[in-house]
Structure 1
């Protein structure tokens, strides 16, 4: 029964859902879901629907996302209360928790359960394993998983995770997904445009459930195990999912993005989940997961002025095409570093200079891993002994799952005009998996403080180069600026890092500061405000990251595949040796003039990457191991759901700044 129109006016709503869109009129009404009734619940009556063709006919959507996740969907209202919020605020339930049991799908009736006001202990065994919800709380039910494994292919934290019962597939970390693609003969991706499982893994016909290992995902102290029989698609569903019967073993396994797992319906059939809208935690046991009680933390961004140019410690950097071994398979759906990279020179040791040290804002290694191993690190290093280190470099999985260990030392280290005393550095005695990067001298990590957890024996974390500069008083501001020069083949491409502030001669206007997403000790993550390519746009929230150690531009999965579907003849690079595998390829009859720019909103700043800048120049095809097939290859790859990564090809068009104390990332247009 209709009570009244919202605020006595014809309030409207507009909502994006996956690739779908709907708008219409908003009302208040009594809403009953089984035994739960909310008075004055805001509901929307759709007058226009587009993009839901993949769904069977259904009657509406019951949103169970966290409070505040429907920002700006209703005219005149920042957010509106969810059904769960209304129940709790009206006293219909005492506990701000709801539980979710999704039954395994069979040909028989499949009946599950939502419980509002607590959990149903008859649906699970043991105790709820509560896990803190990741901030910001008003986007998704995100949290940190503790581990991922598929046979001997593994990953540990940081491993971002999300539950989404409105998604069918299980999304896996990109690098591990492509390790599977490389390790199992005959495996491929579903690239049919009509399949509801496009881009999911397909095993060869001789691979059966009894041969394939289970998926194992660590949820706090709980281990979620999904047998192969449950991630393989049964042939009885092929017609429903528009999957071609080809005798192969199709799966629900899909690439999720760097360090990212999404527990879709096929995962939630194996775990009872619980969600706390007040204390911001989720999950349970056997079939369960939850979160530890945490308090909301307010972020205050302090206004810090630009440092004078004379106070800055400047470091020249350069864009180079590195040497590489074309026989080495490279997985680069997204964040893998290609051979076009950013380098600087580092002085350390016995009056030594390491001329080509890789610069990467995506990691925070102690300083660099030096040594001469298999021609990967070109210069040996012998400084003052500190301790032994054994480093797995979790962030360096992007580099073909590389691994290095050796001895850690303290030394005076000079980069450009910046010198840090007692800087902890590592001298590699063993290196594996970096051969595809070519010959270089080390790695200079510019990731946020604390992101090198447990990499040096006896030290939970070790200070980064900028942390030492700031702590030792060499710089007065806790900021570094980064100018990545546009790469021009055959030219000298010189950029700059400034420690202690930003170099105003490198950009125009003011720095647009954006709060860094928590946890702060993983990546330079933040929220972008918009993404578009022509008339193809991405809904909020849009998670973003900068990583100058990655070449490609990562865009949200849905929008990338909309481009594939929209432009006839567009495909993805599936060649084995390409350094841009998984990136868009446009047909030969298209030119840069036919393609729109990529546009990404960063706060109030709009960055535009023109088509000629995201198209790969044929002059670098051989360096990137791309076959000259007459097609138009690009640097644009899939980043995962609602995820954008500003790799080198974006940062060539932006000045970026990073504040290690006030936890913020800044951007400006280059001068």
Structure 2
């Protein structure tokens, strides 16, 4: 076992150490158009953190400060997980789905079972998280089974020795850009993600990931990842794509440019931010949030950290309009409120109405002025295209749902 302090020192070694090519750099054209789905399970954590706005802001601050693969380990009220097999024969681990980080690792609650396909690389593994904690351990390569159609050979796996905050979870499935793995392994500059390897090993026809979530309060309790493309049955109309933003630090993630209007009133002019499954709420810059609060009449609720409105104010609520690449995505009044059936899970009252738009903690102009988190993504299908450096969105059957 290597102490965290020693591991941290090793992980700050210059990037010159054993520079390795990313999988995206090795990608080559395919003739196949194969895609493969991975079903997800939604989990409601009644013992999760109550002030989710504070947890999301902690995640944002870490992302903004370092541009590294940081997540909040305690933000786990509503999460999507996948059961992922490691080894041959496979041992299955319940992993958090996260597009805001790129390393895949295990060991938080279930011990790594080594098999004939397990190979220790000699590398030390470490990722710093939004709450200041560090997941640390060793790097192995191993066979990873997402499902019978999605089997990856020699995938980089972090095997954690020191972890905290992953109650009921065994680790994380990283789905962000490969750049986020830089300097997380002591003897490698960058390692291929699971999506990279699925593509370079010929399992999928394009390096594209489609993500489908349903509102937590709906009758559909499952989500779905589609590797190699997107699931056309889950969308209405077409996917509209925009390039990854050029603005740092949002450019290091699945970053996009967008503007936001409340009704017909602009509250955030076009600026850069990110799309992130690991953030629960929709976070916007402080100056935009003040305008939103004034327009809605919401008052800060100490217990939840969210804005609270009355039933009469809810009836007067206008839609939010997100303009992304010239396309307007309408987030209805119902889409702006926390699922009332889950109020007590965040420390709220059963009959309270809480808004899911929260203050990011800094004024616009920082280079990361919004995060479209789970509460946005449960209303819109999203597609992450590594090959063409773009992100796409489409409406779904839940875009105009009234399940909240």
Between Structure 1 and Structure 2, which shows a larger proportion of helix residues? 2
Q: Partner residue of 1:370?
A: 106
- Asked if the contact 2:137/2:158 (under 8 Å) is kept, the reply is yes
Partner of 2:205: 476
The equivalent position to 1:507 in structure 2, one of 231, 235, 251, is 235
Q: For residues 588-625 of structure 1, give each alpha carbon's deviation from its aligned partner in whole angstroms, at most 9, with x where no partner exists.
A: 3535322112211121322122222221233212322x
Matches within 5 A, 1:582-621: 583-586=306-309, 588-621=310-343
Tell me if the contact between 1:322 and 1:439 (Cα under 8 Å) persists in the aligned partners: no
Matched, 1:486 2:212: no
Distance 2:142 2:251 in 1: 24
In structure 2, the CA distance between the partners of 1:668 and 1:627, relative to structure 1 (3 Å rule), is closer
CA distance in 2, matches of 1:649, 1:635: 7
SS at match of 2:289: helix
Cα 1:475/1:414, change in 2 over 3 Å: same
TM-superposed deviation, 1:323: 5.3
Does residue 664 of the first structure (1) align with residue 398 of the second (2)?
no
Once residues 460 and 446 of structure 1 are traced to their aligned partners in structure 2, the CA distance between those partners, rounded to angstroms, is 18
Bigger radius of gyration among the two: 1
Larger RCO, structures 1/2 (Cα 8 Å, 6+ apart): 2
Q: Cα 1:669–1:393, aligned 2, differ >3 Å: closer, same or farther?
A: same
Superposed CA deviations along residues 40-83 of structure 1, whole A, max 9, x for unmatched, are xxxxxxxxxxxxxxxxxxxxxxxxxxxxxxxxxxxxxxxxxxxx
Q: Which of 108, 114, 124 is the aligned partner of 1:382?
A: 114
Q: Distance in 2 between matches of 1:465 and 1:317?
A: 16
Aligned length: 345
- Aligned match of 2:277: 548
CA contact (8 A) 1:452 1:462 kept: yes
Residue number in structure 2 paired with 1:635: 356
Contact conserved, 2:135 with 2:162, CA < 8 A, in 1? yes
| Root-mean-square deviation over aligned CA pairs | 2.9
8 Å contact kept, 2:53–2:358: no
Who is 2:224 aligned against? 496
Q: CA deviation at 1:546?
A: 0.6
What is the distance in 1 between the residues matched to 2:42 and 2:31? 26
Determine the C-alpha separation between the residues in 1 that align with 2:284 and 2:49. Answer: 27
2:163 corresponds in structure 1 to 431
> Following the alignment from structure 1 to structure 2, what is the Cα–Cα distance between the partners of residues 431 and 506?
36
1:420 equivalent in structure 2: 152
- The answer to whether the 8 A contact 1:389-1:457 is kept is yes
SS in 1 for 2:260: strand
Q: Is contact 2:139–2:185 with CA below 8 Å preserved after alignment?
A: yes
8 Å CA contact 1:484, 1:652 repeated in 2: yes
Q: Is residue 2:144 matched to residue 1:408?
A: no
Q: How far apart, CA to CA, are the structure 2 residues paired with 1:562 and 1:506?
A: 34
| Match in the other structure for 1:150 | none
Task: Give the TM-score normalised by the residue count of structure 2.
Answer: 0.77
Q: 1:319 to 1:350 in 2, by over 3 A?
A: same
Distance 1:379 1:487, change over 3 A: farther
TM-score norm. by structure 1 comes to 0.48
- Shift of the alpha carbon at 1:585? 2.0
Question: Which blocks of at least 5 consecutive residues in structure 1 are unaligned?
Answer: 1-303
Q: Structure 2 vs 1, CA of residues 387 and 540 (structure 1 numbering), >3 Å: closer, same or farther?
A: same
SS of the aligned residue for 1:558 comes to helix
Question: Is 1:393 the equivalent of 2:122?
Answer: no
